Amino acid sequence: MAAVALSLAPFYGSAYAATPQAPIPPGAAWWKEAVVYQVYPRSFNDTNGDGIGDLNGITAKLDYLKTLGVDVIWLSPHFDSPNADNGYDIRDYRKVMAEFGSMDDFDRMLAEMKKRGMRLIIDLVVNHSSDEHQWFVESRKSKDNPYRDYYIWRDGKDGGAPNNYPSFFGGSAWEKDEATGQYYLHYFARKQPDLNWENPKVRNEVYDTMRFWLDKGVSGFRMDVIPFISKQNGLSDLPADKLAHPEFVYANGPRVHEYLQEMNREVLSRYDTMTVGEAFGVTFEQAPLFTDARRKELNMIFHFDIVRLDRDGWRKKDWMLPQLKAAYAQIDRTGGTHGWNTSFLSNHDNPRAVSHFGDDSPEWRAVSAKALATMMLTQRGTPFLYQGDELGMTNYPFRGIEDYNDVEVKGQWHDFVESGKVPAEEYLSHLRQTSRDNARTPMQWSAAPNGGFTSGKPWLAVNPNYTRINAASQVEDAGSVYHHYRRLMEVRRQTPALIHGEFRDLDPANPKVFAYTRTLDDKRYLVLINFTRETVVYGLPEGLKIAATVLDNGAAQQPVQPGAASVSLQPWQATIYEL
Ligand code: NOJ
Ligand code: CA
């Protein structure tokens, strides 16, 4: 990319025109270059007025996503489910959830994606099923039922549960079942019994299900809590220091890598797929065990170190920019030469990116959302953008407990508040910032009633700020958050260094500015992001000099002259420069 071509582009908010690309580096793959957009179908777009998003609603918005620059859609679970956990409790892995439509709707949606050159990955939720799955209905009937061994059954101990494992959604991870008097294991809700991966029949059922969807034409999977599939030998009690974070034990079963290698051998290696594991409980040191390509397990994982930087369970903690940078640097190192990473700032389990890491006050919301977009799309890792973040959608103004829908909240309310351990107001003040429901409110398509999401009553309230923050107005406005995302994706696609280039944090201790370079061969780019409401004069270290501006988020006041060695960064300014 010649600097002269860049300088011809208009300064503000420009994405430079297509120019011949540098050779694709070795190790390149479509899933490294792709930008993924997560659709949470329940909240995306309702076409039949029942207040619940549906597959036809997704099909209707494919042009919107294509124009944005999305290559791959990750669809949160679309399978038949009684919805104890919004589809993460699957009753039938080969059937579409009735509220979302039919298999014909699915096939049409997929065909329309393909027509537009987009791919689809779906959610593989196989640590657990629904208790209404036929396997579990059979399994619970008797100790000698042929499906008994599909799940994890144990006798109680001393008149209580077999061990002290806690469930993520409150209470014990064991439920006593009346039919046989034994307990079954559920790391999540009671209605989400854990499957027994020790049983080869279970593994083969999972592999068959994967083939079923791959043969239909999906391009891979996001794998729900996949490190949890192998349980600890003996299922002993957790020591006291592990009780608050059982994920570090649940994610460390002795056979997890054996299972993933088998899955790869049996299924994944036979298709052109992309896989991303939700790696809750996996440490930086362990990450390469999942993602080192030589081990033939997964392509990449979601690290939680960024989205959980300021969390202790449901509690919100303060965070400082150097901590965020340290997490990025660590994640980048774990990718190493043979692995690959993801880059994401939110999803359906976390608060909205701009409310979490930016500044969602009316004055700074749009510019800080654009700054975060710049950061997310210039990391070395496949970006996963969550629906609505491209508009800078914010957290919801929750008041009381009755405003929440999430099964996790109900369990915590029972365990902490109703038990008298935590005052209601204290819990609620944290929950407003940490709740998963923040991200699950419906997409804000327009200023029409209910943000244009539904003509009926939405299953979860629409954020009242839809009159100001919505897709229709942003698509019309070249200076919007939406168009900044679009330009960033375009720049990323045309700049191999921003995809594959080495990442280097230039100033890890700086509490205000995130400054890093991305380098591939003789191409070097600098990203500067001001995380404050103040102007910050930033002097470039190491004798670096700016050659040209590639893309700014609209905050910069005047162009930087070629050769400049310092920049006066405006509040929340985020700029990509070529060096
Ligand atoms: C992780 C999913 O992202 C979350 O939404 C779900 O509640 C749990 N896994 C259980 O499936
Ligand atoms: Ca609907």
pLDDT of the chain, 579 residues: tens digit per residue: 333 333 333 333 333 333 444 455 667 899 999 999 999 999 999 999 999 999 999 999 999 999 999 999 999 999 999 999 999 999 999 999 999 999 999 999 999 999 999 999 999 999 999 999 999 999 999 999 999 999 999 999 999 999 999 999 999 999 999 999 999 999 999 999 999 999 999 999 999 999 999 999 999 999 999 999 999 999 999 999 999 999 999 999 999 999 999 999 999 999 999 999 999 999 999 999 999 999 999 999 999 999 999 999 999 999 999 999 999 999 999 988 899 999 999 999 999 999 999 999 999 999 999 999 999 999 999 999 999 999 999 999 999 999 999 999 999 999 999 999 999 999 999 999 999 999 999 999 999 999 999 999 999 999 999 999 999 999 999 999 999 999 999 999 999 999 999 999 999 999 999 999 999 999 999 999 999 999 999 999 989 999 999 999 999 998 899 999 999 999 999 999 999
> Tokens at residue 180, please?
């046989």
How many Å lie between the centroid of ligand 1 and the Cα of residue 235? Answer: 22
**For ligand 1, what atom is nearest to the CA of residue 407?**
7
Instruction: Give yes or no for a contact between 185 and 165, defined as CB atoms under 8 angstroms apart.
Output: yes
Question: SS3 for 409?
Answer: helix
> Where do we find the tokens 């999540």?
188
DSSP state of 318: -
Instruction: Quote the distance between the C-alpha of residue 421 and its chain's center.
Output: 31
| Beta bridge partner(s), residue 37 | 73, 385
Give pLDDT, residue 245: 94
Backbone phi and psi for residue 225, each to the nearest 5 degrees, phi listed first: 30, 50
What b/e string do you get for 382-403 counting C-beta neighbours within 10 Å, with b at 16 or more?
bbbbbbbbbbbbbbbebeeeeb
Q: Does residue 88 line the site of ligand 1, with CB under 6 A? A: yes
Comparing C-alpha atoms, which of 320, 456, 340 is closest to residue 46?
456
Q: Residue whose CA is closest, atom 6 of ligand 1?
A: 88
Residue numbers annotated as active site: 224, 278
Q: Which of 131, 188, 435 is the best mutation target for the ligand 1 pocket, counting ligand atoms within 8 Å of the beta carbon and taking the most?
A: 188
Report the distance separating Cα 528 and Cα 374, nearest Å.
9
Question: SS3 for 96?
Answer: strand
Report the sign of the C-alpha dihedral through residues 458, 460, 462, 464, in that order. Answer: positive
Q: CB burial class (10 A; 0-12, 13-18, 19+) of residue 561? A: exposed
**For ligand 1, what atom is nearest to the CA of residue 76?**
3
Instruction: Give yes or no for a contact between 256 and 279, defined as CB atoms under 8 angstroms apart.
Output: no
Give pLDDT, residue 9: 35
Q: Which of 224, 346, 350 is the best mutation target for the ligand 1 pocket, counting ligand atoms within 8 Å of the beta carbon and taking the most?
A: 224
Neighbours of 49 (CB within 10 A): 10
Q: Does residue 560 line the site of ligand 1, with CB under 6 A? A: no
How many Å lie between the centroid of ligand 1 and the Cα of residue 125? Answer: 8
Q: Residue whose CA is closest, atom 8 of ligand 1?
A: 88
Comparing C-alpha atoms, which of 50, 65, 209, 69 is closest to residue 126?
209
Q: Residue whose CA is closest, atom 11 of ligand 1?
A: 88
Instruction: Give yes or no for a contact between 54 and 48, defined as CB atoms under 8 angstroms apart.
Output: yes
Question: SS3 for 491?
Answer: helix
Comparing C-alpha atoms, which of 314, 165, 316, 313 is closest to residue 243?
165
Neighbours of 365 (CB within 10 A): 22
Q: Does residue 89 line the site of ligand 1, with CB under 6 A? A: no
Instruction: Quote the distance between the C-alpha of residue 263 and its chain's center.
Output: 23
Q: Does residue 238 line the site of ligand 1, with CB under 6 A? A: no
Q: Does residue 279 line the site of ligand 1, with CB under 6 A? A: no
Which value, in Å, is the radius of gyration of the alpha carbons in the chain?
24
52 alpha carbon, closest ligand:
2
HSE, CB side, 13 Å, CA atoms: give it for residue 505. 21
Q: Which of 349, 409, 434 is the best mutation target for the ligand 1 pocket, counting ligand atoms within 8 Å of the beta carbon and taking the most?
A: 349
Instruction: Give yes or no for a contact between 374 and 412, defined as CB atoms under 8 angstroms apart.
Output: no
How many Å lie between the centroid of ligand 1 and the Cα of residue 500? Answer: 30
Report the distance separating Cα 13 and Cα 15, nearest Å.
7
pTM value is 0.95
Q: Does residue 124 line the site of ligand 1, with CB under 6 A? A: no
**For ligand 1, what atom is nearest to the CA of residue 349?**
5
Surrounding residues of ion ligand 2, Cβ less than 5 A? 46, 48, 50, 52, 54
Give pLDDT, residue 298: 98
Report the distance separating Cα 199 and Cα 389, nearest Å.
41
DSSP state of 22: P
> Tokens at residue 448, please?
């029409």
224 alpha carbon, closest ligand:
1
Report the distance separating Cα 434 and Cα 417, nearest Å.
16
Cα dihedral 275→280→286→292 (10° resolution): 10
